[in-house]
Amino acid sequence: MRSNYLRRLGNSDLLVSPVGLGCLQFSRGKGISGIMWPSLRREQINDIVKASIEGGINWFDTAELYGWGESEKALSRSLNDLQIPRNEIVIATKWWPLLRTAASLSATIEKRLSALSTPKIDLYQIHNSFSFSSISREMKEMAKLVEQEKIKYIGVSNFSANAMRKAHKELSKYGLTLVSNQVNYSLLKRHIEKNGVLDTAQELGISLIAYSPLGRGLLTGKFHDNPDLINRRSIFRRYYASLNKKKLKKSSPVVEALKSIAHKYQVTPSQIALNWVINVQGEIMVSIPGATKVGQASDNAGTMNFELSVDDLGYLSEVSSSF
């Protein structure tokens, strides 16, 4: 059974591939995210986007925070360079709430639309729950943007179970629903299975979008094979991804399991790790791995060409249960 059929995001009409492309790495040296990854040239970004689309990926997730708009602009330029029709892809981006009020949603929406060169954003998300305004006020502003046809659907990111429930309830007052919650989820980060987020999403019909599905690089196995690679990463990247000997040791059994199963399926450990993410919880889960190289983009997309057996899904869940 192939995994490259489209999945519906929440109670929306957005149909997306199980794997999308996260565009954090398109920050091009700007902002905090730009410090952690190399600044990609326009041609490199074009090649990554092209490989993703050719591999069956039909949606892209970016954010205002990623290079303070640079990622959005880079994605827009690439789609234009490649002459990709707007109606053939889904674009998701996020508003940064920290030290802001909900009024900023309407005040900055034109900048988001301009950066993305689009008349309407398919999925607009609150990047996290830390704001000077309440969730109620934020959802009211989001509903206004839907009414103004600036955005199609509303999502959140890094919201707790209670915050998800609150957002969903507030949107119902306007005849709308919360479509998605973007969460950190991988074989090395399974907290949503225990803190109510997964249960709440299943109850309310909210899709979960898994970011960092490869454990921020740890699940590729490259750092286990060559620990010296850690020292070649910036201190910011090492801190962000918890790249250290302690984490390597703890995650080693998971990586060894990935390598073993990868050999069985004749694919890469990364594809096994990503395949687990998009299949272990069923169609409620989709994922947005990033890429700084064409090979990584193709590898990500290739994950959708097969599906792990129930036994293999279960084995990986067991070996990673401590996470």
Q: Within a domain: residue 225?
A: yes
pTM: 0.95
> What is the spatial distance between Cα 50 and Cα 56, in angstroms, rounded to a whole number?
10
Which amino acid belongs to residue 47?
Answer: D
What does the pLDDT read at residue 37? 77
Provide the residue count of the chain. 323
Count of structural domains within the chain? 1
User: DSSP letters of 152-194?
Assistant: EEEEEES--HHHHHHHHHHHHTTT--EEEEEEE-BTTB-GGGT
Number of Cβ atoms within 10 Å of the Cβ of 255: 24
What does the pLDDT read at residue 179? 98
Residue 207 sits in which domain range? 7-319
Q: Within a domain: residue 1?
A: no
Q: Within a domain: residue 132?
A: yes
Q: Within a domain: residue 2?
A: no
User: DSSP letters of 208-233?
Assistant: EEEESTTGGGGGGSHHHH-GGGGGGS
CATH number at residue 269: 3.20.20.100
The closest of 206, 199, 197, 193 to 277, measured between CA atoms, is 193
Give the position of tokens 């892209």.
60
Q: Within a domain: residue 77?
A: yes
Burial class of residue 101, CB neighbours in 10 A (0-12, 13-18, 19+): middle
> What is the spatial distance between Cα 42 and Cα 291, in angstroms, rounded to a whole number?
14
> What is the spatial distance between Cα 177 and Cα 187, in angstroms, rounded to a whole number?
29
> What is the spatial distance between Cα 130 and Cα 153, in angstroms, rounded to a whole number?
21
Q: Within a domain: residue 117?
A: yes
Contact predicate 4/46, CB 8 Å: no
What does the pLDDT read at residue 1? 43
Contact predicate 25/292, CB 8 Å: yes
What does the pLDDT read at residue 164? 98
Q: Within a domain: residue 241?
A: yes
Q: Average pLDDT of each block of 10 consecutive residues along the chain (323 residues)?
A: 80 98 93 81 98 98 96 98 97 97 98 98 97 97 98 98 98 98 98 98 98 93 78 69 81 96 98 98 97 97 97 98 95
Give the position of tokens 């694919």.
267
C-alpha gyration radius of the chain: 19
Q: Within a domain: residue 133?
A: yes
What does the pLDDT read at residue 236? 65
